Amino acid sequence: MDRTERPTSPWVGRILLGLTLLAALLRFYHAGTQSLWIDETETIKYTAPFGQYSWRLFFYNLHGALYSALLHAWSHLFGTSEWALRSFSALVGTVTVPLFYWALQPLRRPNTALVATALLAIHPFHIWYSQELRGYVLLLLAVVVSTGCFLRAIEGNRHSLWRYAAANLVGLLSNLAHVFAMMAHGWLQLLRGREGRTLWRGLVLSWLVSFVLLAPWIYVFWENQIQGSRAVGTESIPKEERIRGESSAPVLGIPYSYYTFSVGYSYGPSLRELATLNRKMDLSVLQPHIPGLAWAAIAFGLAAVIGFVRLWRSGVPGRTWVWLAVIPVLLVYGTAVRNIKVFNPRYAAAAFPAYLLAVSEGIVSVGRRRSLLLGLAVLAPTSVSLAQHYTDSDYAKDETREAVAYLRSEMRPGDLFCYIGLDSPLHNYYWRDIRNDPDGIEHIGTHFFTPSDWPGRFARMDSLLAGHDRIFLLFLREAWDDPEGRFRAHIEETYDVEEKAVFVGTEVWKIAGRPATEGTQ
């Protein structure tokens, strides 16, 4: 008998309980410390925690209708603070940990399953989404459960197909990217050939049930994402028509996905540093991180390669997880090439549990001493990333909360507030009436100006700023509207900047306005 196939130890239940408690601690701890960032406040918009929830919000939500509906109910039970809202994701993430162990049982490799479960419990990538108001954490739970049910159906448990259909529906209503996991299951079933023919009827029926119930969202997705993207067709899409130009589908996004699945977002270059690298191609951003990147690449790469080979050789259950680790990443890249969505590792999150399994199998299968060394090599960057997730502001989300607190304390009636970039964290959560010009404070945003006419945009800004003695400028995700920083340069050249309040990922400038003149009206 292989060492990874020994009978289950009576201590497994206690170990799982300990890992689940550890997972809960790591996910609830500091869940409300960071500000809600832009995507989270978009979830707030569809959750309506401060008002009445409606069917329209449910059916027009393409980014996690079920997640938002559940979060709405949660907010009425536990409140609307950052911690209270994110605690729902923390709970879902915690529950996923023991379910991952359950999903891995058809492999008949209990040691690998325990290592994979332990790695999931402490993994920064999963903790990140367990502390975020997005449906990805519920998607990951659904991927784990649906794959576990799929493998049990292959073993002959036909009752698992109904649970499989339910898990797929939960996944699709958490994020439509769950379809990539279903396609991985379908591909594996296709490769089984005659061996899998008895399962096809139930499997196809379960898919049909899921997609019939999903029909309203499929229609909205087709109208909003497909029709205007030129995705349907064979011709190449010009760079100027892509969502974000050449950066919409970077080939390096594929290895970067597995990098984030290895160490999360709080190891090596931060997301802001990577954004700078993407805009300016400034490779000096990477230099301080090269030793750590090399360590993580070697440790995780070696473990993953060994694990993938071992899983592939183990039979249908192992190959199912191998395909699940690969197909979502490739399909996400394909959707980016066809201009449906910008490439982002989170859209390929369905591959994350399977990749973690491969790393764990690689650690377990190389012999006791080598397992210890390889495990420590993997644990080192994981621990660093985990520590930096909680303590290093370089890896934190944009600090909108403190910026808004500063604005509220400094602004008075007659002042002008102008944002460069996006203001959704304000009007969706932190300053919900800002667009109604509260307390005599006027509000404008530069993204309403004609995008291609920069002299006209500057003239428009100057005309709006004229006549105000005090002006407050909020720079929040300014690359969304002004990636080259032209507004910033124009303001510094034209106006007297009295104060710059700098926060993580956010700045507020206080400038002296110019008296209104006949030429600027």
Q: Which residue has the higher pLDDT, 9 or 499?
A: 499
Domain end point (choices 361, 395, 429): 395
In a domain, 2, yes or no: no
Indicate whether 360 and 448 sit together in one domain: no
Amino acid at 6: R
Whether 189 has a pLDDT exceeding 60, the answer reads: yes
* Domain end point (choices 351, 366, 395): 395
Both 64 and 147 in a single domain?
yes
Residues 6+ apart with CB under 8 A from 481: 420, 421, 422, 446, 447, 487
d(CA 463, CA 516): 8
- The pLDDT score that the predictor gives to residue 436 is 84
pLDDT of residue 229: 52
H helices of 350-509, where?
352-364, 368-391, 400-410, 424-425, 454-465, 486-494
Evaluate if residue 60 carries a pLDDT over 70: yes
Average pLDDT score over residue span 136-151? 98
pLDDT score recorded for residue 7: 46
Q: What is the pLDDT of residue 31?
A: 96
Question: Mean pLDDT, to the nearest integer, of 211-230?
Answer: 73
Bridge partners of residue 475, in order along the sequence: 420, 507
Residue 416's DSSP bridge partners are 442, 471
**CATH code of the domain in which 472 resides:** 3.40.50
Q: Which residue would you say has higher pLDDT here, 34 or 214?
A: 34
Instruction: Order the strands of the 442-445 sheet from edge to edge.
Output: 442-445, 416-421, 470-476, 506-512, 496-503
pLDDT at 228: 56
Q: 451 falls in which pLDDT band (50, 70, 90)?
A: low
Give dist(CA 428, CA 61) in Å, integer: 15
359 touches 378 (CB < 8 A): yes
Q: Tell me the per-residue pLDDT of 261-292, one tens digit each, with 9 for 90 and over.
A: 999 999 999 998 888 777 767 778 888 999 99
514: pLDDT confidence band, cut at 50, 70 and 90?
A: low
Please enumerate in sequence order all residues whose Cβ is within 8 A of that of 469, keeping only pairs 6 or more positions apart, or say none. Answer: 414, 415, 512, 513
Under DSSP, the state recorded for 126 is: H
User: So what's the pLDDT on residue 444?
Assistant: 83
Residue 3, domain member (yes or no):
no
* Residue 222 per-residue DSSP state: I
Domain boundary among 360, 380, 395: 395
- Which residue did the predictor score with more confidence, 30 or 434? 30
Q: Quick count: other Cβ atoms within 10 Å of Cβ 13?
A: 11
**How far is the C-alpha of 245 from the C-alpha of 240, rounded, in Å?**
6
- How many Cβ atoms sit within 10 Å of the Cβ of residue 376? 12
Beta bridge partners of 420: 475
> Which whole number is the average pLDDT over 30-55?
93
Q: Do 201 and 318 sit in the same domain of this protein?
A: yes
pLDDT, mean of residues 183-193: 93
Does residue 207 belong to any structural domain of this protein? yes
Identify whether residues 383 and 415 lie together within a single domain: no
Q: What is the pLDDT of residue 515?
A: 44
pLDDT at 224: 67
Cα distances from 65 to residues 57, 113, 170, 174, 378, in angstroms, run 8, 31, 10, 6, 36
Q: What is the DSSP-derived secondary structure letter of residue 123?
A: -
Least confident residue range of 174-183, 189-198, 276-285: 276-285
Q: Is 185 helix (H, G, I), strand (E, B) or coil?
A: helix
Q: Which of 175, 163, 103 is nearest to 137 (CA)?
A: 175
* In a shared domain, residues 264 and 349: yes
> Per residue in 161-170, pLDDT tens?
999 999 999 9
Q: Are residues 288 and 144 in the same domain?
A: yes
Range of the structural domain that residue 467 is part of: 400-520
pLDDT in tens, 247-261: 456 778 899 999 999
What are the b/e assignments for 179-197, b being 16+ CB within 10 Å? bbbbbbbbebbeeeeeeee
Indicate if the pLDDT at residue 315 is higher than 70. yes
Nearest Cα to 477, choosing from 405, 433, 426, 410? 426
User: Smallest Cα–Cα separation from 449: which of 439, 440, 441, 459?
Assistant: 459
Question: Which pLDDT score is estimated for 70?
Answer: 97
Predicted pLDDT at 235: 57
Half-sphere exposure of 394 (CA within 13 A, CB side): 11
How many structural domains does the chain have?
2
| Percent of the chain scoring above 90 in pLDDT | 62
- Name all contacts of 210-216 with Cβ < 8 Å and 24+ positions apart: 210/165, 210/168, 210/169, 210/172, 210/182, 213/169, 214/169, 214/172, 214/173, 216/59
Residue 15 has pLDDT above 90, yes or no: yes
Residues contacting 120, CB < 8 A, separation 6+: 23, 96, 97, 100, 126, 353, 356
How confident is the model over 472-493, as pLDDT tens digits? 999 999 888 888 888 899 999 8
Q: Across 18-75, where does the E strand assignment appear?
A: none
- pLDDT tier for residue 150 given thresholds of 50, 70 and 90: very high
Helix, coil or strand: residue 491:
helix
Task: For residues 270 and 277, give the distance between their C-alpha atoms in angstroms, rounded to a whole number.
Answer: 10
Q: Which two tokens stand for residue 377?
A: 């090599």
**Same domain as 207, residue 75:** yes
Please state the rounded mean pLDDT for residues 41-57. 91
Residue 1 lies in a domain: no
Tell me, yes or no, whether 127 and 22 share the same domain.
yes
Residues 363 and 445 in one domain: no
- Identify the helix (H) or strand (E) that includes residue 144: helix 136-154
Alpha carbon of residue 272 to chain centroid: 15
Please provide the average confidence, as pLDDT, over all residues in the chain: 88
Query: Which three-class secondary structure state does DSSP give residue 229?
Result: coil
Instruction: Say if residue 220 is in the same domain as residue 294.
Output: yes
Please compute the mean of the pLDDT values over residues 184-209 and round it to a whole number.
90
pLDDT in tens, 393-436: 999 999 999 999 999 999 998 899 999 988 999 999 999 988 88
Residue 387, in any domain of the structure: yes
**Which pLDDT score, from 0 to 100, does residue 77 have?**
96
Residue identified by tokens 């550890």 is 22
Does residue 226 surpass a pLDDT of 80? no
Of 178, 110, 98, 190, residue with least CA distance to 146: 178
- Assign 447 a pLDDT band (cuts: 50, 70, 90): low
In this prediction, residues 333-354 reach a mean pLDDT of: 88
pLDDT digits (tens, 9 = 90+) for 88-134: 999 999 999 999 999 999 999 999 999 999 999 999 999 999 999 99
More confident residue, 87 or 281: 87
Q: Given the DSSP bridges, would you call strands 496-503 and 506-512 parallel, antiparallel or unpaired?
A: antiparallel
Residue 520 has pLDDT above 50, yes or no: no
pLDDT at 277: 79
* Residue 450 pLDDT > 90: no
Same domain, residue pair 269 and 149? yes
Query: Do residue 203 and residue 218 come from a single domain?
Result: yes
Q: Residue 509: beta bridge partners?
A: 473, 500
